[in-house]
Amino acid sequence: MRRTAQINRLRAFQRWLKGAESGGTEQYVYELEMWLKSLECYFRVANLPMSEQEVRQITLRDYSEELSVVGDVIFRVSQVCTLLLSEEQVSYSSFANYINNSLKQEYFTDKFLQALLRRQTPDSNLNLLMIS
C-alpha cells in the first residue's frame, strides 16, 4: 500500500509539473528547487567559510548575518510559491486557514496545516511551504 501511495504522489507531481510547463511557470519550479537546496546546505558547518579556531568556538559565533540571508531566502521562497499557485488557490488557502483557525476548538493544533500535511499534493505542499 505504501508503495502505491508513493507512485500516486509521483504521478500527481508529474501531472502538476506538466501543468507548470504548459502554464509557463516551470522556471519558478526550478528556482524554488534551487532555493530550497541551497537553504538546506547553508548552515552545514563544513560549508561555512571558517578557520579551525572559529570552528572550535562555533557556539559563540554571531549568526545575525546568516539569519538575515535566510530571511531574504524565505521571503523569496514565499513569493515563488505564490507565483506557482493560482490566485484562487492562494486566496482560498488564506481564507480556509483563517476559518479553520478562528473556529478551532483546540489551541495546540492547526487543523488547516494538518489537512495540508495529510493531502500530500504539489499544491498543498506549496501552500504548506508558503504558510511556514
What own/partner pairs with CB < 8 Å and gap ≥ 24 does 98-107 have?
Answer: none
Residue in the block written with cell 538575515: 68
d(CA 41, CA 76): 17
**Element of type H or E holding 63:** none
pTM: 0.59
Rg of the chain in Å (alpha carbons): 19
C-alpha cell at 113: 496545516
Question: Is 132 in contact with 112 (CB distance < 8 Å)?
Answer: no
Regions in the chain scoring below 70 on pLDDT:
1, 86-110, 112-113, 116-117, 128, 132
Say how many residues make up the chain: 132
Tell me, what's the pLDDT at 108? 43
Residue 107 DSSP one-character state: S
